[in-house]
Chains A and B, each alone.
Chain A
């Protein structure tokens, strides 16, 4: 246990040891908060915070899936790629720590890092509470859902970081995989599958159910469905386990 904690601490500290982490956090906060007030037209994000005249965080929450689809792989790209490139993976994995503990410790450190980013958006909670009388239920469930989502995208990123020694390739593959999850349930994708004669109906249903956006939408509204919770948890644990398997293959290369 102490070994896992030590690896976790080192990893979390290493996030803040480089300016990159601050750059990512600032970009995340600026884009998220700016778009909350001035959403880009044509992205289907609805109207801005003031136009909506609604003391809720729905505008901001609707941005989170796309934001974390980017931030997750970005926060994870260094995780294993750098250890393997510099050879420290051999040092780490010959200390008395198992590969599972090491993968888990680094994953949780990245998750905490993203959680800090999420925590910094709570300025919006104060804003709406000051302007009106928001319903706290959807705020809680929206934040819990966002944190789970962040973990799922981080896990995807960590898998690709174990796959490639090159951080940039790890990032790009992670982004592609995350984008697929985001786009799976988009109206365009579902409509396309429905229009194809070869595609059975259950296929478009299946693809639609893989949508993180749809699953998250309910949580923003305060609906706590087991499915919506389970989906990111399944993605997360699946990819963390896959990271262990992948790293076992790639650690010595």
Chain B
């Protein structure tokens, strides 16, 4: 469902993403691993058509990111890093706004809000202003926003960052539950998250693709430990 074709992105003299290519199929939960500044968020911003790549392209659910960015965005549910939200709106009016930008009818928006409020356990705070919510609730509102149109492709940039262990568990359960029928890419630098939710993992460092495989395979390469392998591939380049 996602096909990334050698995308490269520079910011000034820094190469943030350097010829990354991979594919993700429906039913996969792809863990996107890498140290901070490795190019994870930049890749996700390119896939969601927030940024344009300097070279290369990608297709998401059959739409090319350069030729049909709005078509791509229609297919995607995206939670940006830190899950930014309009703090001055209530949860209900915010979700309604997202639904209408997505061109949903008011009837289907109402049904969709009921569904995501239930799914993300937001029923107690629907009429509350977003800026008064705790971090955990804000994250879940960000997730609810991404699930509103029931997208086939979900792109989540560090969705469990800043959550307490119970909330992390809840979000991971949700992702795993949806993994079978959707195509999900989740970035993280928490390695145990890979074990918990991902069916496949990619490691990138300094903009390059360093490893691609099932969590068990990657672990085996590190002698049974993912963190050992992670450190090995992400620090190799620096030594050279």
Contact = CB atoms under 8 A, between A and B. Distances in A.
Do A and B assemble together? yes
B76 interface: yes
B88 A96 contact: no
Contacts of A7: 101
Contacts, number: 65
Contact of B85 (A9, A18, A88, A94): A88
Contact of A88 (B70, B78, B84): B84
B59 to A, nearest CB: 17
Interface stretch (B46-54, B166-174, B201-209): B46-54
Contacts of A86: 84, 87
A6 B99 CA distance: 9
Most chain A CB within 10 A, of B71, B86, B88, B98, is at B86
B134 to A, nearest CB: 17
Given A96-B102, A98-B70, A91 B85 contact: yes
A51 interface: no
Interface in B21-57: 45, 48-51
A17 interface: yes
B50 A96 contact: no
Nearest to A14: B88
B97 A87 contact: no
B73 A87 contact: no
B73 to A, nearest CB: 4
B98 A95 contact: yes
A17 B102 CA distance: 23
Given A10-B97, A90-B50, A252-B50, A17 B88 contact: yes
Interface string B98-121: 101111000000000000000000
Nearest to B11: A252
Given A94-B80, A98-B70, A252-B51, A88 B86 contact: yes
Contact of A97 (B80, B88, B101): B101
Interface in A63-99: 86-88, 90-91, 93-98
Contact of B88 (A2, A18, A87, A93): A18
Contacts of A9: 97, 100
Given A86-B87, A90-B50, A96-B73, A3 B101 contact: yes
Main secondary structure of the interface of A (DSSP, over half): helix
A251 interface: yes
Contacts of B51: 252
Contacts of A17: 88
Contacts of A252: 45, 50-51
Interface in A178-228: none
Contacts of A94: 48-50, 73, 76, 78, 80
B82 interface: yes
Contacts of A251: 50
B80 A90 contact: yes
Contacts of B97: 6, 9-10
Contacts of B98: 95
Interface string A233-253: 000000000000000000110
A96 B103 contact: yes
A7 B84 CA distance: 16
A87 B70 contact: no
A90 B45 contact: yes
B169 to A, nearest CB: 26
A87 B85 CA distance: 8
Nearest to A98: B70
Contacts of A6: 97, 100-101
Contacts of B103: 2-3, 96
A93 B50 contact: yes
B135 interface: no
Given A17-B88, A87-B80, A96 B48 contact: no
Contacts of A5: 100
Contacts of B219: none
Given A2-B103, A91-B84, 4 more contacts: A10-B97, A87-B82, A90-B50, A91-B145
29 contacts: A2-B100, A3-B101, A3-B102, A3-B103, A5-B100, A6-B97, A7-B101, A10-B86, A10-B89, A87-B80, A88-B85, A90-B50, A91-B80, A91-B84, A91-B85, A91-B145, A94-B49, A94-B76, A95-B73, A96-B70, A96-B71, A96-B73, A96-B74, A96-B101, A96-B103, A97-B101, A251-B50, A252-B50, A252-B51
- The 6 residue pairs across chains A and B that have the minimum distance between CB atoms: A87-B84, A6-B100, A94-B48, A90-B80, A96-B73, A6-B101
